[in-house]
Structure 1
Amino acid sequence: MVSENPNETSLLPVRHPQQDLFICDIADCVLKNDIASMEHPVFSLSKKPDLSVREYVNGDKRLTVTPSVKGMATIYDKDILIFAISQLMAAKNRGDPISCELRLSARSFLVFANRHTGGGDYEQLEAALDRLTGTRLKTSIRTGGEKQESWFGLVESAYVKRFEHGGGSEGRVQELRITLSDWLFNAVTANEVLSMHPDYFRLRKPIERRLYEIARKHCGVQDEWRVGLRLLYKKTGARSPIKQFRFLLKNLQDQQHLPDYKIAIEADGENVSFARRSEVACPPRTNFLHVADER
């Protein structure tokens, strides 16, 4: 679904360099992601069904993620939410009314997320909705100034509409209708979102996407952000051994294909820094190095 060759370390190709006019309007929306799920490990990084309950504690912030029998929502399933949030923010910025209930074109989503548009790619949307609606959260992490203390789903309900008559598309998913959780919708209404580089969808590995999210959230408009390697490992939600995590960071340091940021493992081997690439525009401000104070 994501990588034609999992051994490749470069970015995925741009699969839709030219789009029809209808798709163009939608794909031109700036990628937006909610800050809370960028900072905290809400989504599974596994490509296999993840049935484990996750507990994450960071200071006074607590998060419990419980999957359904279909498995935990993955970071690739999150693409649907990024698409939804991007559409909502575009409408909000135009001054249009918005709602937590959305109707999304299946093909528009696949193009937006730089995916193939074959029959199997449409069918995978149903599996993604299974995981998104089945995964339940309990958290003290605020969105929109509201503290959630009850169980809720990332997507509270979903509906799939299929083509009904011929044309070679009969039975194929045509439209997605989803109802976002209050937790996510509050983030949109409170502007608790960040823009992301479109090459996010070209990253091949789940951990690369997660590292980009974390860098985007914490580095922001700073020139550099420094964090302990073990804390970074915790923030990603990775389940692989930390030795393997170090190896992956070393590969990323050698390849340097994360959008917007360069990554470096410091000489002590226990800290990692993310530095903004010089070609990334940011508002003028005093340069400083922020050291994560979490342990």
Structure 2
Amino acid sequence: MVCEITKESKSPLLPDRFGQGDLFVCDIFDAVPKGDMASMAHPIFSLSTKPDHRIRRYEDEAGKNFVEVKPSAEGLATVHDRDVLIYCISQLIAAMNNGQTPSKTLRMKAYEFLKATNRVTDGRGYDGLRSALVRLQGTQIETNVVTGDTEQLDIFSIIDRARIVRQTRDGRMQEIEITLSDWVFNAIQAKEVLTFHRKYFRLRKPIERRIYELARKHCGSKSEWRISLPVLQRKCGSASTLREFRRLVANIVTHDQEHAHIPDYSVGMDEDMVIFTKRGTLNNADKPDTETSLIPTIIRLKPDTYTEARTVAPGWDIYHLEQEWRDWMADGGLDAPANPDKAFLGFCRKFFEKRGRP
């Protein structure tokens, strides 16, 4: 399903295969796509279209929270496999909004999932869904990241179980039963989720989907979000060289300028700074946006602070450290510090103590 763009005139988006008014056509309710913020904060899902067997570990700069992701023999779950989670989360959130009690185990029709996520409904679609379930169950996470006010210090799979409830005579799955992990379910119960644009499922490239997730989490309903290219690469989980990653992002920027295909946000570059600007398509009443935007861009550091920061963290790009500091606060949901200059210098000291010279 993921293909390269070979002609300048070709749309970067996949075709809208069904043109449906509502994203999901469920048995009981219609749902809009939702993504959990816990997995949006870290590059849990692989960008590769080939089996990815890398072990990943991510820590915040304070060394307080960590996430380690381990693949199975089938490789890490991919960004496209995440569609299964988005579908499940969307149904459960819609049920909660209708006054129903959510359950970790839910049943879905394979055809409705394929249709809702804009996938082909022939044999390729069903085979792809089966492979996604295998990778989701096989990918293991060890973390102490808090979801729903619960600190999860455990090793678990992204989904606990997937079972084919009903299939056709030729073996094609019809109904599937999925049991979500506590980590994902805690986030759902706490409504630590964000609404995704329906066009998300039409994005062709995994990296486009990942940068959209990051923009939704960090930019939210703010007018603009800036991030340095090296930090964006780390947050995407890209295994490319910085030079290659710069080329990939530059291509996305070019296509977005031509087609405006990235949902909700336009994407631009100013040297090695990537800039996301809100298009005005978001619902500003989306509550989690206000909860994940507690570190406003209006924080301004004094010029002397940058000079002192170069002393406490010699050799490092101070503006890169500033972006790391702002991202660290945003990821932790921290309020703006009473003394930003003092807080930033403290961050730089700890960063240098941990990393040393570049």
TM-score, with structure 1 as normaliser: 0.90
Of the three residues 78, 83, 103, the one matched with 1:99 is 103
Question: Paired residue for 2:183?
Answer: 183
Displacement after TM superposition at 1:122 (Å): 0.7
Distance in 2 between the 1:68 and 1:209 partners?
Answer: 23
Look up the SS of the partner of 1:91 in the other structure.
helix
Decide whether aligned partners of structure 1 residues 289 and 57 sit closer, same or farther in structure 2, where only a CA change above 3 A counts. same
Displacement after TM superposition at 1:147 (Å): 1.2
Look up the SS of the partner of 1:124 in the other structure.
helix
Distance in 1 between the 2:276 and 2:194 partners?
Answer: 17
Question: Paired residue for 1:226?
Answer: 226
Question: Paired residue for 1:41?
Answer: 43
The residue identity in structure 2 corresponding to 1:201 is: F
Distance in 1 between the 2:203 and 2:14 partners?
Answer: 6
Contact in 2 for aligned 1:221/1:283 (Cα 8 Å):
no
Of the three residues 97, 103, 115, the one matched with 2:119 is 115
Question: Paired residue for 1:282?
Answer: 284
Decide whether aligned partners of structure 1 residues 211 and 26 sit closer, same or farther in structure 2, where only a CA change above 3 A counts. farther
Displacement after TM superposition at 1:149 (Å): 1.4
Displacement after TM superposition at 1:294 (Å): 4.3
Question: Paired residue for 1:250?
Answer: 250
TM-score, with structure 2 as normaliser: 0.74
Larger Rg: 2
Displacement after TM superposition at 1:163 (Å): 2.6
Question: Paired residue for 1:13?
Answer: 15
Displacement after TM superposition at 1:225 (Å): 0.9
Question: Paired residue for 1:261?
Answer: 265
Contact in 2 for aligned 1:159/1:177 (Cα 8 Å):
yes
Question: Paired residue for 1:136?
Answer: 140
Of the three residues 131, 137, 142, the one matched with 1:127 is 131
Decide whether aligned partners of structure 1 residues 246 and 130 sit closer, same or farther in structure 2, where only a CA change above 3 A counts. same
TM-align CA RMSD: 2.3
Contact in 2 for aligned 1:2/1:115 (Cα 8 Å):
no
Distance in 1 between the 2:85 and 2:67 partners?
Answer: 19
Distance in 1 between the 2:53 and 2:28 partners?
Answer: 34
The residue identity in structure 1 corresponding to 2:203 is: L
Contact in 1 for aligned 2:166/2:176 (Cα 8 Å):
no
Displacement after TM superposition at 1:270 (Å): 2.7
More helix by share: 2
Displacement after TM superposition at 1:279 (Å): 4.4
- Tell me the matched-pair count: 285
Counterparts in 2 of 1:69-218, with a 5 A limit? 69-165=73-169, 170-218=170-218
Decide whether aligned partners of structure 1 residues 72 and 279 sit closer, same or farther in structure 2, where only a CA change above 3 A counts. closer
Contact in 2 for aligned 1:223/1:289 (Cα 8 Å):
no
Post-superposition CA distance 1:115-167 (Å, at most 9, x none) = 010022112211111110000001121110111111011101110134344xx
* Gap regions ≥5 residues in structure 1: none
Displacement after TM superposition at 1:19 (Å): 8.1
Look up the SS of the partner of 2:151 in the other structure.
coil
Displacement after TM superposition at 1:242 (Å): 1.4
Distance in 2 between the 1:104 and 1:39 partners?
Answer: 27
Distance in 1 between the 2:100 and 2:123 partners?
Answer: 33
Look up the SS of the partner of 2:145 in the other structure.
coil
* Gap regions ≥5 residues in structure 2: 291-295, 299-321, 329-358
Higher relative contact order (CA 8 A, sep 6+): 1
Look up the SS of the partner of 2:149 in the other structure.
coil
Distance in 2 between the 1:107 and 1:272 partners?
Answer: 38
Distance in 2 between the 1:251 and 1:27 partners?
Answer: 39
Contact in 2 for aligned 1:222/1:289 (Cα 8 Å):
no
Moved more, 105-114 or 156-165: 156-165
The residue identity in structure 1 corresponding to 2:268 is: A
Displacement after TM superposition at 1:224 (Å): 0.7
Decide whether aligned partners of structure 1 residues 24 and 70 sit closer, same or farther in structure 2, where only a CA change above 3 A counts. closer
Displacement after TM superposition at 1:278 (Å): 3.5
Q: Percent identity?
A: 45
Contact in 1 for aligned 2:253/2:268 (Cα 8 Å):
yes
Post-superposition CA distance 1:220-261 (Å, at most 9, x none) = 111111112111110000111111111121112222121000
Question: Paired residue for 2:235?
Answer: 235
Contact in 1 for aligned 2:5/2:12 (Cα 8 Å):
no
